A and B are shown apart, each in its own frame.
Chain A
Amino acid sequence: MERTQYKQEINMTEALMTRINELISHYPEGKQKSALLPVLHEVQDAHNDWLSIELQDKVAEILSIKPVEVYEVVSFYTMFNRRPVGKYMFEFCQTSPCCLNGVEDLMDYTCEKLGVKVGEPTADGLFEVRGVECLGACGYAPMMQLGDFYKEHLTKEKVDQLIDDCKNNTIILHDK
């Protein structure tokens, strides 16, 4: 199968490096590898929510670990993306309690409205719909994660509103 090569511009800003060094300081001398997951989150957030191989190599260099130690972690955890993703990722929880509250119908509705299938970004790269496993909001179902936040007690009207807010750029994705 042919694999698309994606290019990513790497920009390790001073603010990002300060945060990375702060995270490394949370662990004893020589245990900087422990900072890998938090560092990956920060780096990913600052790079359009995905991590190219080059960017992963950069993280390995910063933490003085082998590149493969980063690759194996990035490929294990579902929150790290190895390809460009929609700017607004609608990650619907599709585990049992959310299903009891109609999340499957809501996902169909959202996909139809955006004209996409689950897991493929819209042509303009703005939206992507994903089904994920239990997000720990079962009592507030149906729900989704959008950036760092949860959107709960969803209805079709609320999904419509969220899509509009995203288009109007009035959604806060990250809590900085």
Chain B
Amino acid sequence: MSQKILLDKVNIPGIKTYEVYRANGGYASVEKALKTLTPDEVVEEVKTSGLRGRGGAGFPAGMKWSFIDKKSGKPRHLVCNADESEPGTFKDRYLMEYIPHLLIEGMITSSYALGANLSYIYIRGEYMWVYKILERAIAEAKAAGWLGKNILGTGYDLDLYVQIGGGAYICGEETALIESLEGKRGNPRIKPPFPAVSGLWANPTVVNNVETIAAVPWIVNNSGADYAKIGIGRSTGTKLISASGNIKNPGVYEIDLGLSVYEFMNSDEYLGGMSSDRPLKAFVPGGSSVPILPANLIYKTANGEDRLMTYESLSDGGFATGSMLGSGGFIVYDDTACIVRNTWNFSRFYHHESCGQCSPCREGTGWLEKVLHRIENGHGREEDIELLLSIQSKIEGNTICPLGDAASWPVAAAIRHFRDEFEYHIRFPEKIKNRNHFVVEPFESVKHFIVKENV
């Protein structure tokens, strides 16, 4: 049984409201930080905790905070990235919808640590009803004296607002998010300068994911050292995993980092195994951008060690035999899923979401989608597999922001681990006419056609 840090109170009736949240120990971290700790001491606790950015990149949060420019004397800002849109990821929405005050508490405590007096939560446009929940929660917190001027009589001022996006995945990239918060198109900025020096309105800015900020109250209430005791190695604390696909119990789970993938997949406390009696075929552990892994690399690494839910274990073996923890968007596929179709689906997503600023991504994502579409629809050519690899390798690393990488990795991984499935599509177009081709006849049962030909 994993410890609950973020979701321990989520089932208390009425926890969405200020009164119930406060009556259950809510806002204690604000009191403790503002009355007994200096901002730097709060930063130190977060550094000690080893908390890593929960949006996907996994950068140490305390270190990110320590980069904020205090010398220039410019106003500083904390911006919460609630633009959750990585396919497979729906954890931040869960937190904000069911326990909104936890995020607001985290925003106040974290803003204090950074010396920010004006902070924002940037939420994706489609979460319109969650935007309204947060607006109401902020109004409640303000009425109770947790926001505004001279909070708790300590002389610390903070205004906090929610800003709504307009439906663009790219705004989850921190500099695109800042552009959007300034009322512009979500085109990522060239770094440096980093937001910690020049962010929102050219002021020093820290952008953190919802889950990262929501972990701060616990760290302040207990200690960074206590937080670091949970987990394994550099993967400290708990992580929200949003699970979907062909599993029995899809949903959002809080796990101790270090839980084995096998237990997470199969125990009744978590995913409860596959939704039907079909065998496991593949999984994507951290949102659509991270490499897909085939069944033989899911529970064990290439070295034969148990695969664990940690940043390190999931990426063990590099891209050759590993993947990434990413955002914790855990998608499971059974043998009726078509990897080619799935890869095309992801490519369509990235093509649609590319901001269009860098040519390799703007054009390349479209080419990937087009070539994958023709393979999936029975018009593939033998040379298309090499063509896909060539396109993806020319996007990767050649763009301002990581969307280009995110678009190219899933294609490379799908070909790396499921090349025979692409070959099957190209050589037997009449067998894949129906979009549910592997539902009718799973690839395992027709795979021998390919093998024969290759011999």
Q: Which A residues lie at the B interface, using CB under 8 A?
A: 26, 28, 31, 33-38, 40-41, 63, 65, 69, 72-73, 76-80, 94-97, 99-100, 104, 132-141, 145, 148-150, 175
Contacts and interface: CB of A to CB of B under 8 A. Distances in A.
A72 to B, nearest CB: 6
Interface in B101-148: 118, 124-129, 132
A139 B129 contact: no
22 contacts: A33-B182, A37-B165, A37-B183, A40-B166, A41-B128, A41-B166, A63-B183, A76-B355, A77-B186, A78-B167, A80-B167, A96-B87, A96-B342, A99-B341, A133-B169, A134-B88, A136-B93, A137-B93, A138-B88, A138-B244, A139-B252, A140-B250
Interface string B351-372: 0110100000000000000000
Nearest to B342: A96
Given A79-B126, A136-B127, A138-B331, A36 B183 contact: yes
Given A28-B118, A97-B87, A149-B129, A73 B183 contact: yes
Contacts of B385: none
B204 to A, nearest CB: 15
Nearest to A75: B185
Given A95-B346, A134-B349, A141-B250, 5 more contacts: A33-B182, A37-B180, A38-B164, A136-B84, A138-B244
A105 B79 CA distance: 40
Q: Which of B185, B252, B341 has the most CB of A within 10 A?
A: B185
A134 B85 contact: yes
Contact of B243 (A69, A80, A139): A139
Contacts of A140: 90, 250
B242 A138 contact: yes
A35 B352 CA distance: 25
Contacts of A38: 163-164
Contacts of A132: 167
Given A73-B184, A134-B86, A138-B87, A100 B333 contact: yes
A65 B90 CA distance: 35
A37 B164 contact: yes
A76 B90 contact: no
Contact of B167 (A69, A72, A79): A79
B126 A145 contact: yes
A111 to B, nearest CB: 15
Nearest to B244: A138
Nearest to A105: B436
Interface string B180-202: 11111110000000000000010
Contacts of A69: 183-184
A74 to B, nearest CB: 8
Given A38-B164, A76-B185, A97-B331, A104 B435 contact: yes
Nearest to B84: A136
A25 to B, nearest CB: 9
A151 to B, nearest CB: 12
B245 interface: yes
A78 B168 contact: yes
Nearest to A38: B164
A99 B182 contact: no
Given A76-B168, A96-B346, A175-B129, A138 B163 contact: no
Contacts of B167: 77-80, 132
A16 to B, nearest CB: 16
Contact of B183 (A33, A96, A135): A33
